[in-house]
């Protein structure tokens, strides 16, 4: 999985055949990404009006929100790509998506965990969407780069809403139960 992920990060399109690696590798990639997101110290830093998360809750939040966001985006992409019969459903969209997320999103999560402000990582977020769209357009001949970008953007809307709900639950529930950061 690492070699396809690195090639995708360099914007080299690869065929669906190269995403034939075990699904557990995709699951591990998303798990590692979630753990790195959960290590972000800003999740545990007290700020006015925001409850800090205990360490274990922050880790759980990172893993659960990343997995939920990933599954939502992949589900929306499956629907989006089948519209107009652009994709016949053959090929592993889960492995493609995980490979395209791995390098750019791990880089973003690592920088954020090291304290880089979110605004400075915005170009990397945009590049991450481009990497994913390029991977889709490279693997599915009837999908253009613009159509793939639109599918990712549409998928991110419910994914972000789910992550907000998970963050709310990860801050309010521990506070209601008396846990402290």
pTM, two decimal places: 0.90
What distances in angstroms separate CA 5 from CA 18, 79, 112, one per listed residue?
10, 23, 21
Percent of the chain beyond pLDDT 90? 70
Write down the residue that tokens 């605004």 correspond to. 119
Burial letters 129-154, b for 16+ CB under 10 A, else e: bbbbbbbbbbbbeebeeebbbebbee
pLDDT category, 96, cuts 50, 70, 90?
very high
Q: Which residues contact 108 (CB under 8 A, 6 or more apart)?
A: 121, 124, 125, 128
What distances in angstroms separate CA 171 from CA 5, 39, 108, one per listed residue?
33, 15, 23
The 3-state DSSP class for residue 50 equals: strand
**Residue 101: which of 136, 132, 71, 146 has the closest Cα?**
132
Instruction: Give 37-61 pLDDT, tens digit per residue.
Output: 999 988 888 778 777 788 998 999 9
Instruction: Give 101-151 pLDDT, tens digit per residue.
Output: 999 999 999 999 898 988 999 999 999 999 999 999 999 999 999 999 999
CA–CA separation, 167 and 38 (whole Å): 11
CA–CA separation, 73 and 7 (whole Å): 21
Contact 136, 96 (CB under 8 A): yes
């Amino acid at each position: 999985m690492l070699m396809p992920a690195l090639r995708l990060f360099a914007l080299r399109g690869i065929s669906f055949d190269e995403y034939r690696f075990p699904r557990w590798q995709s699951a591990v990639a998303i798990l590692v990404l979630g753990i790195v997101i959960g290590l972000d110290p800003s999740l545990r830093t007290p700020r006015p009006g925001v409850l800090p998360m205990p360490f274990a809750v922050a880790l759980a939040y990172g893993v659960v929100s990343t997995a939920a966001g990933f599954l939502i985006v992949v589900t929306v992409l499956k629907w989006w790509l089948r519209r107009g019969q652009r994709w016949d459903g053959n090929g592993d969209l889960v492995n493609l998506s995980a490979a395209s997320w791995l390098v750019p999103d791990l880089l973003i999560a690592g920088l954020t965990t090291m304290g880089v402000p979110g605004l400075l990582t915005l170009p990397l977020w945009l590049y991450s969407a481009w990497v994913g769209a390029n991977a889709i357009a490279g693997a599915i001949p009837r999908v253009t780069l613009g159509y793939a970008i639109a599918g990712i953007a549409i998928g991110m809307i419910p994914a972000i809403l789910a992550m907000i709900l998970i963050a709310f639950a990860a801050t309010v529930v521990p506070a209601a139960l008396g846990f402290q950061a």
